[in-house]
Chains A and B, each alone.
Chain A
Amino acid sequence: MKKKASGNLTLIRRLALAPYSFWAALFIVVPLIFVAYYAFTDLQFRFTTDNITRFFTATSTVADETGEHEVRTYVLIFLRSLKLAVISTVICLIFGYPFAYLISKAGARTQSILITLIMIPMWMNFLIRTYAWMTILQDTGILNGFLGMLGLGRIHIIGTESAVVIGMVYDYFPYMILPIYSVMAKMDVKLLEAARDLGCNGVGVLRRVIWPLSLPGVISGVTMVLIPSISTFYISQKLGNGKFYLIGDAIEGQYAANNLHFAAAIAFILMVILLIGMAFMQRFANKRAAV
């Protein structure tokens, strides 16, 4: 009797899910299949692994003060993207974690005000935000104007890796704070009292209770910052003066050059690497949670 009822429920559930399943299939699964299909075919849509091989083997020469070097173009671009994304993510985490903690400890009204303030920039277009940073960071921009006024001299920052990182941190910071905040806001204060009761000072409570319990939030925050920042292209073009060609720029460039198959191959490889990374991180988190 009971089993039948739950069977009906599953059917109703499935029906209710149908529009979403359809949506997901159409806009997530189908495009992914297309990416994979393009990645493994040539211009005549015959199967090939050339696009994939090209990503790992294509070389070019770069010059620096020690002379000219032969480098693997796309591997280098990928590593550069990874480096900038990791730096941005770490900065977001270092500033976002304590910030999220402080917000979760504030009064209910202050909490909602602060969360709204964090979200407001997200309501503005991404391109406009990046342009705003250009005008701030330019050699003749607002930052240098301000420094000049204080008599501190000017700094050259636009077109450096720092400018790109600043842009990424600014754009993706809310994605780090929100998931961590939502985990912390739900944390039972009795657990923190229990930890203090059982001999933990402030640092002990943080290390042994707050941190492990907030780990799911940290992981989704890291994911939500790392993934878009590793594949970003616009920020590096505008704030890096195009000097830091990132993996996103590479994909965009190949599409712009109508080289769809190779662009798809880069996207595909990036996706696989990220999936492996995510799986690894999830395993690490589960292991921590199980201890």
Chain B
Amino acid sequence: MKKIVELKNVSKSFDGELVLDHINLDIYDNEFLTLLGPSGCGKTTTLRIIGGFETADEGEVIFMGEEIGDVPPHKRNVNTVFQRYALFPHLNVFENVAFPLREKKVPKAEIEQRVGEMIKLVALTGFEKRSVTSLSGGQQQRVAIARALVGRPKVLLLDEPLAALDLKLRKDMQQELKNIQKATGITFIFVTHDQEEALSMSDTVVVMSEGRIQQIGTPIDIYNEPKNAFVADFIGESNILDGVMLRDRKVSFSGHLFDCVDEGFAPREPVDVVVRPEDVDIVAPEKGMLQGTVTSVTFLGVHYEIIVDIDGFKWMIQTTDFVDVDEHIGLYIEPDAIHIMKKSEYSGMFGDYSSYSMELDEIGELEQIEELGELTEEPVEEAKEAESEA
């Protein structure tokens, strides 16, 4: 596969604070690559450096074999879909999409044809003359995508493009973006903090934290073989325990010796052990490898999420079997459900559910809803006006 963008030892600071710490990343032609991480991890800065809106303090940005560190954005064969779309409010849908072509002085007939194609690609036919401010969030999103693609860039940068959409629309757009990427064959570099989005859309996921790349891999690799406690915790739910690798395929944790499938660690090497909540079977206490007491049970539709106290460490287990709070249960873990990681700076920071509560998650969701409210303010006002006119 051909490399299209290479970042070599790229560093960037803002006001003396290191935002990117020697990033090395190869991005291949035709790839759907996602930069995933919590806010402040440097993913958006990475995107802006590729787009030309920031200059790296150190290191090289190579585009199709050429160093482009000093090339301004308008001369890069890269386009961006901005977080809040940044559509031009003084132009209608057609003119927004035609914007880059008019700048390049493309002949009128060709503009008509190419803009028409793009509007069709994003399923907005019939909306050409509409003002962009009268469109819904999802429609604005489509205009932004059409506008970014009409110039036929080699690479499309997408900065959390779905963050402002509601859940249902977000799922649809994920699928649609994936289809557009396949249909056009353009490399997509997608930034998100939503791990589910990253797993479901990407060919390659780059997990970032604190300005450093933690892991690069396919979604399946990242989920099944997380490199450290940060990745294991950020992608999905994980119970992360202190363990000792006794020898190949033998690991001890929670006071029990387990069979596992990992090899290549030093004898008696301390390690982090990851067990996914869905990989634990609930059995009778005497048949379990570990025994504990259920402290909470939450019904989530598809399964129950239960928290089990095992010698003071709280495990999360997802199960379809009903158990009651205060019930004493046994846990059974298959060897291939155990994943061993080297100790890292993130060891001990994640993977214990003793402070976990659904409330915290809800607060997170509320914040998101508030953000949405901010965005939908205008249409709401318009609706009010329409009402009072009526």
Measured CB to CB, the residues of A under 8 A from B are 2, 6, 10, 188, 190-191, 193-201, 204, 208-209, 212-213, 288-289, 291
A6 vs B87: C-alpha distance when bound (angstroms): 33
CB distance from A233 to the nearest CB of B (A): 39
Check if B46 is an interface residue, CB within 8 A of chain A. Answer: no
Chain B 106-159 residues near chain A, CB threshold 8 A:
147-148, 151
Complex CA gap A190/B53 in Å reads: 11
**A-binding residues in B (CB < 8 A):** 51-53, 72-74, 78-80, 82-84, 86-92, 95, 99-100, 102-104, 147-148, 151, 387-388
Expressed in whole angstroms, the minimum distance between the Cβ of A251 and any Cβ of chain B is 39
- Are B79 and A197 closer than 8 Å at their CB atoms? yes
Cβ-neighbour of A6 out of B53, B90, B148, B387 (below 8 A): B387
Least CB distance, A241 to chain B, in whole angstroms: 46
User: Closest CB of chain B to A249's CB: distance in Å?
Assistant: 41
Contacts of B52 in A (CB 8 A): 196-197
When distances are taken between beta carbons in the complex, the residues of chain A under 8 Å from B388 are 6, 10
Most buried by A among B53, B82, B103, B387: B103
Interface centre among A191, A199, A213, A289 (most CB of B within 10 A): A199
Show 5 residue pairs from A and B whose CB-CB distance is below 8 angstroms, ordered by the A residue. Answer: A6-B387, A188-B86, A196-B72, A197-B148, A291-B95
Docked Cα-Cα span, A212 to B53, in Å, equals 23
Q: How far is the CB of B85 from chain A (nearest CB, A)?
A: 9
B310 to chain A minimum Cβ distance, whole angstroms, is 50
Bound-state Cα–Cα, A10 to B388, Å: 9
CB distance from B141 to the nearest CB of A (A): 14
Q: Which residues of A contact B99 (CB under 8 A)?
A: 195, 198, 208
Instruction: Determine if B53 and A198 form an interchain contact, defined as CB atoms under 8 angstroms apart.
Output: no
Q: Given the complex, which residues of B lie within 8 Å of A204, measured CB to CB?
A: 74, 103
Chain A: minimal CB distance from B147 (Å): 7
| Interface of A (DSSP majority class) | helix
Bound complex: CA A267 to CA B89 (Å): 39
- Chain A residues contacting B79 (CB-CB under 8 Å) are 197-198
State in angstroms the CA–CA spacing of A199 and B73 once bound together: 7
A199-B151, A208-B99 given; A193·B86 CB < 8 A: yes
**Which residue of chain B is the closest to A205 with respect to CB atoms?**
B74
CB contacts (< 8 Å) of B87 on chain A: these are 194
Cα separation A67 to B158 with both chains bound (whole Å): 75
Taking a contact as CB atoms closer than 8 A, the residue among A2, A193, A199, A212 that contacts B90 in the complex is A212
Top 8 A-B pairs ranked by shortest CB distance? A190-B86, A194-B86, A198-B100, A199-B103, A196-B73, A212-B90, A199-B100, A197-B80
Find the B residue at minimum CB distance from A196: B73
What distance in Å separates the Cβ of A223 from its nearest Cβ neighbour in chain B? 20
- CB of B73 within 8 A of CB of A193, answer yes
Query: CB distance A196 to B74 under 8 Å?
Result: yes
Judging by beta carbons under 8 Å apart, are A200 and B74 in contact? yes
User: Closest Cβ of chain A: how far from B205's Cβ, in Å?
Assistant: 25
A200–B74 CA distance with the chains assembled, in angstroms: 6
CA distance A236 to B387 in the complex (A): 52
Residue pair B74, A197 in contact (C-beta under 8 Å): yes
> What is the bound-complex CA distance between A289 and B53, given in angstroms?
28
Which one, A2, A193, A194, A201, contacts B88 given CB within 8 A? Answer: A194
Which of A190, A198, A291 has a CB less than 8 Å from the CB of B103? A198
Task: Contact check, A197 vs B90: say whether CB atoms are below 8 A apart.
Answer: no
Chain A residue contacts of B102, Cβ below 8 A = 208
On whether the beta carbons of A200 and B103 are closer than 8 Å, the reply is yes
Inter-chain contacts of A6 with B (CB < 8 A): 387-388
Q: Indicate which residue in B53, B78, B91, B103 contacts A193 across the interface (CB closer than 8 Å).
A: B53
- A199 close to B104 (CB less than 8 A): yes
B103 contacts which chain A residues (CB < 8 A)?
198-200, 204, 208
Q: Point out the residue from B84, B92, B151, B387 that lies within 8 Å of A198, measured CB to CB.
A: B151
Q: A119 to nearest B CB, angstroms?
A: 29
Closest residue of chain B to A201, judged by CB?
Answer: B74
**Are A193 and B82 in contact, CB atoms less than 8 angstroms apart?**
yes
> Which chain B residues lie closer than 8 Å to A288 at the CB level?
90
A204 to B88, CA, bound (A): 14
Evaluate contact between B86 and A289: CB separation under 8 angstroms: no
Nearest chain A CB to B152 CB, angstrom units = 12
Complex alpha-carbon distance, A208 and B72, angstroms:
18
